Amino acid sequence: MTEPPALPDYRGLFDLSEKTAVVTGGCGILGRHFCAGLAAHGAQVVVVDLDQEAAQRFADALEDQFGTGCLGLACDVAQPAAIEAMTARVVDRFGGIQVLLNNAASKSSDLEAFFAPVEEYSQTVWREIMAVNVDGLFQVARAVGGVMAGNGGGSIIQTASVYGVVAPDQRIYQGSQYLGRPINTPPVYSTSKAAVIGLTRHLAAYWGAQGVRVNALTPGGVESGQNEAFKQRYGARVPLGRMARADEMVGAVVWLASDAASYVTGQNIIVDGGLTAW
């Protein structure tokens, strides 16, 4: 009797050791976990953030812990020239870019204005947020995606938000605070994150023939300093009954970056504990 052929060994699909990954907003709440997850799976990680010293310090810590070559770079993604310079430095150092986690976002330097009611919302603040969350995101994708397309492929993962998919329930903000101040989800945030999803689909179709995959990661609410009133109200809206931990977004990132997702593009991967199922 003829033995059936051996099945492939799929364990290597999540190996990122041949990949260089650029993570914008790399020192942020989610960014640090994304960087660690990619480095743990073998990627050379470029930590991109506003502060050069902080970015390099974190890159050094990643290199010490995971043994992969890591680099910290300062870049203001609202400045196209800075994006071009950052991209050129990465290519010069590592020879190419195989993964981009387009993750940088802004909450404004003026939190009072950022959380202002719709009727009082400032056009200046609106443009400040859009300059990073949409304009900067596009400029980074354009620069790095162009490198990927010229080199025969890559994976771009763009961080959106559950509030780019559904509207926030205003009732959860009654008595809610973040780091000691009243909060809400302003319209500029929802609008910018909805734009991330639209841009993701456009770029997936545009670069598909060049082997560049483009997907969005949409986190639900992540614990990061909210008070108990907010966490309880938000958790009551979620089938799993709680907010997410930042580390619970990492598995989706590693999958999308890896060859395990080689036929996945133009998708919005929602990791929200089931909030959008209701």
Amino acid letter, 261: A
189 among known catalytic residues: yes
Per the listing, tokens 């559904």 go with 166
Of 189, 206, 234, 263, which one is the catalytic site residue?
A: 189
Cβ neighbours, 10 Å, residue 235: 17
* 235 neighbors 278 (Cβ within 8 angstroms): no
Query: Could you list the active site residues?
Result: 189
